[in-house]
Amino acid sequence: MKSFDAIVIGAGQAGPFLAARMVEEGMKVALIERKFLGGTCVNAGCMPTKTLVASARAAHVARNGAVYGVNLPGEIAIDMKVVRARAETVTMNARNGLIGWFAGMDGMTVIYGHARFEDPKTVSVNGETLTAPRIFLNVGARPVIPELSGVNDIDYLTSTSIIHLDTLPRHLAVIGGSYIGLEFAQMYRRFGAEVSVIEHGPKLASREDDDISDAIADVLRSEGIDIHTGASDIAFARSRDGITVATDSARIDASHVLIATGRKPNTDDLGLDAAGVITDKHGYITVDDSLATNVDGIWALGDCNGRGAFTHTSYNDFEIAAANLLDGDDRKVSSRILAYALYIDPPLGRVGMTEKQARASGRKIMISTRPMSRVGRANERGETKGFMKVIADAETKKILGAAILGIEGDEVIHGIIDAMNAGTTYPALQWSVPIHPTVSELIPTLLGDLKPVQL
């Protein structure tokens, strides 16, 4: 049996940085990863997909160059092999960077293999037994495949496998109208494929307010994406030319199908029962406000704990654990203000409460909206789709939430994120003097238009 001061299972966006921090403190740490360092973000999520999004945007801009007085001869051609290779290079550079970083650390042992608990202090991997007083789980999540008729009879794609495509689908059917599915839908439409989005619920991006969901649908439809919401009885069958996707109201002749109906935690094969670690009904590991599980000496970080499904929340889990365990701090997950983005174009930047949530809270609230068509930068760039929206507490004057669907919305939202984290009231933020011409310069104007609403 090999003994360590700590064992980290999973090399996503929390575990490796925590392991490195503990090594800096003089600890002996084992980092166990069953496949690739970097987790979903580096290998199948943010980095490769946003690289693909960038290629798709380049095609879109080139295709619409005449609007800006830039005329290109002939049709815009997409070389999917180059597109794929570019994304793969970004992934490999990041992964190899982690490999090199860890190789230079005394006290760090990286083990590739599948770890399972033998008891609360012991795990087995590759036929060896390891023990440590502290064990951290950062095992991430994977695509979930729903039990739909005929789904096992077709060769479907997931968000993991689709990034390896080096040919252009004739017609891509996307099952699921949430964040992952919508990004791929627009991306492949811009590459030149016909695209249909099939969503069981009544709206796309159902987490958002109805006005945001409707605006997202308008953006996608304007680019020629076929959207089917409220779809039931979804079924698949092989056809002579590909795959037939049938619903209660539509029949689609697709060449490829992307299943993007959510993700589930990679917790079902860790031997958690042997350690006594509790999970919820969806398989997420139950943690307290410090990310500790019900078993002393075991913590769960990142997607597998159900407290955030983003790279930045996973990294923040590392920050919380490191601060509490190594710096004597008392940081809490509940102090985190959730923010995220949807990387269609234009992007959606979101922070805090939706209008629906704010109304349900019973607070007296104020709301302001402003169309991107009234933003100078948007007009100059010829990208005026979308709008800004902010919600504030009428009594405390604190900002409760915001949504910016529009050009650079994923960056502009950070001004509001910072204000919310600092506890700044909206009247104070109104007096900032932002740079012109930018999208951010409209934030004080947006706040100045806040009006009380009836609950």
The candidate with the shortest Cα–Cα distance to 363, out of 403, 390, 396, 402, is 396
pLDDT of residue 337: 97
pLDDT of residue 455: 74
Cis before residue 146, ω within 30 degrees of 0? no
Tokens for 198? 């099939």
pLDDT of residue 234: 97
The candidate with the shortest Cα–Cα distance to 22, out of 109, 100, 131, 108, is 108
Share of the chain above pLDDT 90, in %: 98
Q: What secondary structure, in 3-state letters, does 24-39 show? A: HCCCCEEEEECCCCCH
191 pLDDT above the threshold of 90: yes
Tokens for 340? 């995220």
CB of 86 closer than 8 Å to CB of 7: no
The overall average pLDDT reported for the chain is 97
What SS3 class is residue 226? strand
CB of 237 closer than 8 Å to CB of 121: no
Q: Which residues of 354-373 are buried (b: 16+ CB within 10 A; e: fewer)?
A: bbeebbeeebebbbbebebe
What SS3 class is residue 8? strand
Q: What is the DSSP letter of 149?
A: B
Q: What is the DSSP letter of 336?
A: P
Q: Which residues of 307-334 are buried (b: 16+ CB within 10 A; e: fewer)?
A: bbbbbbbbbbbbbbbbebbeeeeebebe
CB of 402 closer than 8 Å to CB of 350: yes
Question: Which domains are seen in the chain, by residue range?
Answer: 2-142+264-335 (3.50.50.60), 151-261 (3.50.50.60), 339-452 (3.30.390.30)
Bridge partners (DSSP) listed for residue 261: none
Q: Interior CA angle at 124 toward 120 and 127, to 5°?
A: 160
pLDDT tens-digit series, residues 319-355: 999 999 999 999 999 999 999 999 999 999 999 999 9
Tokens for 248? 């209660």
Minimum mean pLDDT range among 73-77, 81-85, 150-154:
73-77
Tokens for 94? 């990041």
CB of 172 closer than 8 Å to CB of 258: yes
Helix axis angle, 179-191 to 210-222, nearest 10°: 20
Report the chain's terminal Cα–Cα distance, integer Å: 62
Strand bridging mode 226-228 / 194-198: parallel
Tokens for 406? 């529009």
pLDDT tens-digit series, residues 250-289: 999 999 999 999 999 999 999 999 999 999 999 999 999 9
What SS3 class is residue 133? coil
pLDDT tens-digit series, residues 82-126: 999 999 999 999 999 999 999 999 999 999 999 999 999 999 999
Q: Interior CA angle at 198 toward 194 and 199, to 5°?
A: 150
**Would you please indicate which residues are annotated as catalytic (active-site) residues?**
436
